[in-house]
Chain A
Amino acid sequence: MDRFLFLTFDGLSRGAVYAAFALALVLIWRAARIVNFAQGAMAVATAYVAYSVADATGSYWIGFLVAVVAGLLLGAGVERVVMRFVDHSSPLNGVVVALGLVLIIQGVLGMIYGNEFRPAAAPFSRDAFEIGGVALLSRYDLFVFGAVGAVVVLLTLLFTRTPTGLRMRAAAFAPDVSRLLGVPVGGMLTLGWALAAAVGSLAGMLVIPTELGLHPTAMDIVFISAFTAAVLGGLDSPIGAVLGGLIVGLLLSYISGYLGATVAPMAVLALLVVVLLSRPDGLFARSKARTA
């Protein structure tokens, strides 16, 4: 029973990171109808920058802030310089360009930082403290829950309570009509990419210290888990992404706890295949409202 509880909390903590990363994928999907396969590589690039800054300044938190700001800039840059010029008549084009970006980013990171794992320090202890005699949660887990929770709340407020959020939603759903109403659609698209990449960077900063450390491919498995989470949630739904992230986190935690850690990566892929075959619109798909 203790083991089950431990795995549950561990799963929720991982799942929170997947949720944030899936949220980043959903943000771009909603804004641009592209699955940003470069999200993981982009997050790793900003994490390298963040740890360089943290090493130079001696402050993890300055590095953390730099990661988020670098994410904003990188996201905006990728949209303005690359994605804007991709012909979107076939969805495959955006995918191929994103995969090309992955290769470029991972190659450049390898040239600059080397292709070996570098230690990435966590800002809080990862040793679990005891609650009622059972070691369940570490300070770092609490930090992860707090950070992801804050992201979810801030994004919800942005999209539902602010004029900019309304503009972003309208621009995504009906670009031509939005232009006629004075919405700068191109700017909203750039903002969507910037926000998504910043959320992705934050998720990267949260997950990298819990894995093997910094490496150009450090986010590859995380990306697959988060992508599965996003698909599980229907790709279109922020709430779906969060729930999907938690579900995937829990499943992986139970599988690696009871069946062995080596099974987990295969289990993610198996889950992705099952979801795509059985519920391609996700668990929380709403009826297709839009026909035109």
Chain B
Amino acid sequence: MSALLEVEGLTAGYGAAPVLHDVSLTVQPGEIVAVLGANGAGKSTLLRALSGLLPIQKGRISLEDRDLTKIKVEHLVRHGIAHVPEGRGVVTELTVEENLRLGGLWRKPQPSLEPIYELFPRLAERRTNEGHQLSGGERQMLAIGRALAAQPRLLLLDEPSLGLAPKVTAQIMALLRDLRDRTGLAVLLVEQNVRSALSVADQGIVLSLGRIVTRHDAATLVDDAELRHAYLGF
């Protein structure tokens, strides 16, 4: 099976000093890959570089053998990549419904939002509320729902557990697993919360100071005490 996302030798960052050094990884269709590491390891930078929000200095990004290295941010979603940025990126001045419509706007005809409301009944209840009226968990649901409205093949998810209660985090992780199983959605999941990320991930990649220091099956990372101590600190 050929990889969905393939990243080779990616070096990227802000200005002259790169944050990421020579990062290579692959994501298979229907695979959840967790990107782990301490604060400042370059996890969010990796996602931002992948979606074109940051200039890439070296390396190559391809999606099903199509070169996306120099893609414009606004064309990303047409290739089937949806990026949920850190801090969720709900447009707080727009209503829940408008945020969701925005996700599917580039598709013609525009997709129905009913499947999203079925996935997140809470959002259906809050359809006409504006983004700033939502709780943290609801905003995270909205951001993920909006990304799904674009019907992506690959979801780039940045810190979905940030500021959420453990119960809500668990719900979101369960949802990712369910989506992967039902629709074959692939996810590149950036997380500080190692345990919950590895609870759904197939693969785990550990970044440190912008370099990949180890990669393993999620199960191996969880079970191997030595690996855990060395790279994940628990």
User: Of A163, A177, A289, A290, which one neighbours B89 at CB under 8 angstroms?
Assistant: A177
Q: Which of A178-186, A189-197, A212-220 contacts B (4 or more CB under 8 A)?
A: A178-186
Q: Which of B16-24, B70-78, B191-199 contacts A (4 or more CB under 8 A)?
A: B70-78
State A194–B76 Cα separation when bound (angstroms).
27
Say yes or no: is B101 at the interface (Cβ < 8 Å to chain A). yes
Q: Which of A101-109, A137-145, A168-176 contacts B (4 or more CB under 8 A)?
A: A168-176
Say yes or no: is B92 at the interface (Cβ < 8 Å to chain A). yes
A interface, size bucket: 20 to 34
Judging by beta carbons under 8 Å apart, are A178 and B102 in contact? yes
Say yes or no: is A14 at the interface (Cβ < 8 Å to chain B). no
Given A163-B105, A170-B102, is A180 in contact with B85 using a C-beta cutoff of 8 Å? yes
**B78: which A residues are within 8 A, CB to CB?**
182
Minimum CB–CB distance for B216 against chain A, Å: 30
Minimum CB–CB distance for B55 against chain A, Å: 15
Judging by beta carbons under 8 Å apart, are B102 and A166 in contact? yes
**B82: which A residues are within 8 A, CB to CB?**
180
Judging by beta carbons under 8 Å apart, are B92 and A181 in contact? no
**A185: which B residues are within 8 A, CB to CB?**
74
Say yes or no: is B234 at the interface (Cβ < 8 Å to chain A). no
Task: Provide the B98-109 mask, 1 if CB < 8 A to any CB of A, else 0.
Answer: 100111011000
State A65–B89 Cα separation when bound (angstroms).
41
**A290: which B residues are within 8 A, CB to CB?**
92-93, 132
Given A170-B94, A182-B75, is A176 in contact with B103 using a C-beta cutoff of 8 Å? no
From 64 to 98 in chain B, residues with beta carbon under 8 angstroms from any chain A beta carbon are 73-78, 82-83, 85, 87, 89, 91-94, 98
**A179: which B residues are within 8 A, CB to CB?**
53, 73-74
Nearest opposing residue in chain B for A289, CB measure: B132
Q: How many residues of B contact A (CB 8 A)?
A: 28
Judging by beta carbons under 8 Å apart, are B93 and A167 in contact? no
Judging by beta carbons under 8 Å apart, are A167 and B94 in contact? no
Minimum CB–CB distance for B136 against chain A, Å: 13
Judging by beta carbons under 8 Å apart, are B132 and A181 in contact? no
From 36 to 63 in chain B, residues with beta carbon under 8 angstroms from any chain A beta carbon are 51, 53
Say yes or no: is A111 at the interface (Cβ < 8 Å to chain B). no
Judging by beta carbons under 8 Å apart, are B85 and A173 in contact? no
Minimum CB–CB distance for A134 against chain B, Å: 45
Minimum CB–CB distance for A235 against chain B, Å: 15
Q: Chain B interface (Cβ within 8 Å of chain A)?
A: 51, 53, 73-78, 82-83, 85, 87, 89, 91-94, 98, 101-103, 105-106, 110, 130, 132, 146, 150
Query: 23 A–B contact pairs at CB < 8 A?
Result: A163-B101, A166-B101, A166-B105, A169-B93, A170-B94, A173-B92, A173-B93, A176-B85, A177-B85, A177-B91, A178-B91, A179-B73, A180-B51, A180-B82, A180-B83, A181-B102, A181-B146, A182-B77, A182-B105, A183-B74, A289-B93, A289-B132, A290-B93
Which 4 A-B residue pairings sit nearest by Cβ, starting from the closest? A182-B106, A182-B77, A177-B89, A179-B73
Q: A181-B102, A182-B150 are in contact. List 19 more A-B contacts (CB 8 A).
A: A163-B110, A166-B94, A169-B94, A170-B94, A173-B93, A176-B53, A177-B91, A179-B73, A179-B74, A180-B51, A180-B76, A180-B83, A180-B85, A181-B103, A181-B105, A181-B106, A182-B78, A185-B74, A290-B132
